[in-house]
Amino acid sequence: MQPYLLSVLSGLMLTASFPNTDWNLLAWCAFIPLLRATEGRSGKDTFKIGYAGGLAFFWSLLYWLTNVTVAGFFVLTFYLALYFPVFALGVNFLRRRGTVPVWIGAPLLWTALEFVRTYAFTGLPWGLLGVTQYRFTALIQVASLTGVYGVSSLVMLVNIAIDECIRKRGREYATPVAAALIALVACIGYGSWRLSGENHAEKIVRVGIVQGNVPQEEKFGQGFREEIVQRFHDLTLEVAREKPDLIVWPETSVPGYYWYEPYIYQSVAEIQREVRKPLLFGSEHMIEGSKRKYFNCAFLVDARGEPLERYDKIHLVLFGEIVPCKWLFPFLMKLVPYEDDFSPGERFTVFPLEQGNFASLICFEDIMPDLARKFALRGARFLVNITNDAWFGRTSQPYQQVAHAVYRCVENRIPMVRATNTGVSCSIDLYGRINRILRDRSGDELFFQGTAVFDVALTRANTFYTRRGNLWSMACGAAILLIFIMSGKRKTNEVK
């Protein structure tokens, strides 16, 4: 029983490193109980012990998913938890047969597994190890070179170095400890250097956001349409008094299909005739054909209320907007809150704005590293995340999402504004600093109506990560694969 408790302890320590607890120092040693519990054990025992830790982590981290789909929560976490035993098995293999020391191989393996998780089955990179350090501004600047995965590698390296101190005596642990200290100092030094030479703003764009706080059960109810439209009308007039360059409403803020419902279309146009400012808002959209397709979209209308451009959400939420393998397991469609899957968009839309072009990330798209990078490559000067966290109630989910969003700014040296129906509406600068959060008079950040105007500084920074993408994580994957192949061949030769 003790090994399982140690593994569960690892999972809970790791969860405590994320918001809302934010005990981020725990992440630097969270894996030690798991490593102690699995060392020297059989493959079967290692898998079971590691899986217990994975379940403990993802159950405690993603508990808020049960507000949307209980069955989907279990299916998703049963899958995600597999990465823990795979890592534990890999570490044991490296210790027994590895051609390189475990303190080199383990960080490579963990980074490769995080990269796989980012893309497998549409991808859900929620809870990457590096995200725990989102408030350590100097440290995380290395993400402009490696993406968030570089920070994950560093945190895992420190975990392994500490574990080696426990396992070994004398000077045997000197090398991994020295390597961890050198890597840590180098990353902090690089970040401090980047922060000391901050880019000067070429332009300031004033972005006004509206937080509507529409309850989820009212969002698409026919009896609430007029009330919702009136709410956004009043809040938009309020924020327009501060003369923003752009006004933003949250995800699916209009109660219907903007493009097809005259009432919704005309209501938006009437608001625009009063405020005379460009407006970005979220709306569902459908396209008729041999099979009707549904999209989660962001629309930009000009100061006269004329539609300018539309972005169809590209990355769909697993068991929220899309079900993988439903052709094989049709019963899985019962696990999601919609009757039909959404369709993914195919175009990286960059919206035009006089002060500087921008791109919109919808819902969980701000957790996807490569998506924000591709928008930056196409000329987006800043990002706008529109989301609706009313689904998840008063939980840690909104705060966890902001922690992930910080990295999209650091990776691409690009600022972000977040507009939520309810959640953490805020601005994040190009170094990942959360500059301002919309709060009510009591200091609460969730479940209230409000508006804010953020001054967003635009620069023309261009990072290595933006230009070259996930080279670090792919290199880690290639390296650990080569290590495993070489280790396997060496064992075969020894047997011969």
Q: What is the DSSP string of 10-50?
A: HHHHHHHTSTTT--GGGGGTTTHHHHHHHTT--HHHHHHHH
Strands 358-362 and 382-387: parallel
What gap in Å lies between CA 251 and CA 226, rounded to an integer?
A: 18
Whether the Cβ atoms of residue 404 and residue 132 lie closer than 8 Å to each other:
no
**Residue bearing tokens 């924000």:** 372
Peptide bond into 388 cis (omega under 30): no
> In this structure, how many other beta carbons lie within 10 angstroms of the beta carbon of residue 289?
7
What gap in Å lies between CA 360 and CA 163, rounded to an integer?
A: 43
What gap in Å lies between CA 313 and CA 298, rounded to an integer?
A: 8
Residue of 114, 164, 251, 321 with catalytic role:
251
Rg for the chain (alpha carbons), in Å?
24
Whether the Cβ atoms of residue 158 and residue 25 lie closer than 8 Å to each other:
no
What residues contact residue 313 under an 8 Å CB cut-off, 6+ apart? 295, 296, 297, 298, 321, 342, 344, 345, 362, 363, 365
Residue 419, amino acid: A
HSE of 33 in the Cβ direction (CA atoms, 13 Å)? 20
Residue 239, amino acid: V
Strands 416-420 and 382-387: parallel
Is residue 313 part of the annotated active site? The answer reads: yes
Residue of 187, 363, 409, 426 with catalytic role:
363
Residue 80, amino acid: L
Is residue 251 part of the annotated active site? The answer reads: yes
Residue of 52, 123, 145, 64 whose CA lies nearest to 390: 64
Whether the Cβ atoms of residue 51 and residue 374 lie closer than 8 Å to each other:
no
Q: What is the DSSP string of 319-365?
A: TTTB-TTTTT-GGGGGGSSSSSPPPPP-----B--TT--EEEEEGGG
What gap in Å lies between CA 277 and CA 387, rounded to an integer?
A: 21
Residue of 313, 321, 411, 445 with catalytic role:
313
Residues catalogued as catalytic: 251, 313, 363
